[in-house]
Amino acid sequence: MSLLVDAALSIDGVDTISKALKLMIQRQERVFQYTFRRSEVFNYNRTKGIPCISPPIPWMHGKDIYESIKRVKFEGLTGNLAFDERGYRKDYRLDVLTVSLNNGPEKIGEWDSNTGLKSVYDEEEDSGDTWNYTRTDYERTVVSIISPPFLYRNNKTDNGRPPTGNDRYEGYCKDLADALARELGLSYRMVIVKDNKYGVELENKSWNGIIGELRRGRADLAVAPLTITAERERVVDFSKPFMNVGISIMIRKPEKQKPGVFSFMEPFTINIWACITIAYVLVSVSIYMASRFSPYEWSTEDLTSGHIYHNQFTLPNAFWFSMGALMLQGSDHVCPRSTAGRIIGGAWWFFVLITISSYTANLAAFLTIERMLTPIDSADALAKQTDIAYGTVEDGSTKSFFKKSKVTTYKNMWNYMSTASPPVFTKSIQEGVERVRNTKGKYAFLLESSNNDFYNNRKPCNTMRVGPNLDLKGFGIATPLNSHLKEAINYVVLKLKEDGTLHKLQQTWWFEKGECGTNPGHRESKKRSLSLSNVSGIFYILISGLVLAIIIGLIEIYYGKRHPPKLVHYSYSRRWQNSRPNLGVTSREHHNGLFVEAMIK
């Protein structure tokens, strides 16, 4: 329960007077006996009450009460209660707070009645080169954090000599700090944040990490992958973002999908193949029916004994015509002559043209590009599943994003991460990446996209980024509030962005120095090379067709020997005539698809 300062002081004041009066009564039990009589107050037995007259008559017990108060000593609501010989309070402490328009209150020190002011800025640090903040008028202190590729420790030696000064570090932020120093015309000293944290607000309203160092005046600016957030903007100033990033998902690369025997059928789904088959049957039957009833598909020949009527579109020939068109091979001289048949054939050819073109375009991609099936592809999929654990860095803006998010998906993810057992948070980005690599696909790491892209290009090259970014934010250069460097740094950042320096730095440290790249020409030629497993299905179909043809051929030979065909001899009259067949036929003979009609007189 909170209590106002005025109320606490009032309570301690009343308690002090009460204890002082008790001390007087303990020394002399009847000290007030002649003062309070018949519910009246008397002063020196001469006046009733304490009249305000001139000259005033002091109360007879005033001096004794004053001396008794100076002997009171106890622990009250406002701290230690004790008084010196002059009646002033002693042996107490006050918290010193800072308050401004945009932030506070924040404790920055203590004031003791005996030792005076003790500021948090005066705390002595551990000895060492890292935290020697002695500055000259021309040297600035730049604080950063070890986080590849933004900053590495440079372990290279020059003729056996280890690097010194700012040369102890290398990386994107080191190059950016050098560019800032050149443009601003100043020298700097780069130091590493001691607790290896970016900065979050603690329960006592103070800050740790890089933000804390800027707040306590231990650094002039921070050049690091420091995310610009509203919470941090209250306590430090940020420049324009030098890099735009977002929270992304890192998972272990799944095993590459092995090509199936019938991988050549994958460009179309089963539903499309079924529709193509149905269309093939319907078109074949339609052409057959149109040819049966159209007079233009019939041909007649004069014989010495009558007329012969024949139609080339028997049911097997109709299926053969449709198959030839589907395979882009044609079907010899079998071609519709009727208007209805030609309309059906033209529509079928157009259908085949689009279908084959689409199939060919997709077939190249399915046979030449290796595909991987990822278990998740978005934050929604990650939140809904239970097989893969996921987490973030323990202290940083990514954790704060999920903790304060109002989006249902992200709230559910935070509820899981904050209660998961074993814990899913990591102390550093490197620890999170190693956890992804070593858990065989059972852990996903949520981190900034810049770090995600970097570690995906580092050996053993078994991690990957999935899904879109969860948010959009930027990294900025931080300075203490109201720093005179803020506007100059903004100008330099915009200049470096416009002249391409920032883009070049990113390409250098993320991709050119990557460890997972290969020769582009070699990679493309490798994709064009097909293995037997990619096309083995077409060989199975060819072998199956040959075997089926041999079996059917043997059956025809066996049937032909058991039932030899009857040969029919005709005498043609050399006259050809196309006319409608006489539907008043009394007898017909079928032979090889020809209708032979004998005219009965």
**498 among the known binding-site residues?**
no
Nearest C-alpha neighbor of 260 from the set 537, 57, 47: 537
Question: d(Cα 326, Cα 320) in Å, to the nearest integer?
Answer: 10
Whole-Å CA distances, 285 to 18, 282, 316, 318: 114, 5, 10, 7
Written as one letter, the residue type at 471 is: D
- Which residues fall within 8 angstroms of residue 293, CB to CB, at 6 or more apart? none
472 exposure class (CB count in 10 Å sphere: 0-12, 13-18, 19+): exposed
**586 among the known binding-site residues?**
no
- Tell me the residue length of the chain: 601
Written as one letter, the residue type at 98 is: T
- Calculated CA dihedral for residues 405, 407, 409, 411, nearest 10 degrees: 40
Question: d(Cα 365, Cα 265) in Å, to the nearest integer?
Answer: 12
Question: d(Cα 381, Cα 175) in Å, to the nearest integer?
Answer: 39
Whole-Å CA distances, 209 to 122, 204, 425, 476: 18, 15, 17, 16
**Three-state secondary structure call for residue 519:** coil
**360 among the known binding-site residues?**
no
DSSP character for 509?
A: I
**227 among the known binding-site residues?**
yes
- The token duo for 399 is 């954790």
Question: d(Cα 180, Cα 492) in Å, to the nearest integer?
Answer: 7
Strands 247-252 and 298-303: unpaired
Question: d(Cα 189, Cα 181) in Å, to the nearest integer?
Answer: 10
Written as one letter, the residue type at 294 is: S
Count of alpha carbons within 13 Å of 549, Cβ hemisphere only? 6
**448 among the known binding-site residues?**
yes
Q: Are 433 and 250 in contact (CB under 8 A)?
A: yes
Q: Are 334 and 313 in contact (CB under 8 A)?
A: yes
Question: d(Cα 440, Cα 388) in Å, to the nearest integer?
Answer: 10
- The token duo for 271 is 């539903």
- Which residues fall within 8 angstroms of residue 109, CB to CB, at 6 or more apart? 95, 96, 117, 118, 119, 120, 121, 122
Q: Are 199 and 205 in contact (CB under 8 A)?
A: no
Question: d(Cα 227, Cα 474) in Å, to the nearest integer?
Answer: 6
**232 among the known binding-site residues?**
yes
Q: Specify binding-site residues.
A: 225, 227, 232, 397-398, 448
Q: Specify binding-site residues for L-glutamate.
A: 225, 227, 232, 397-398, 448
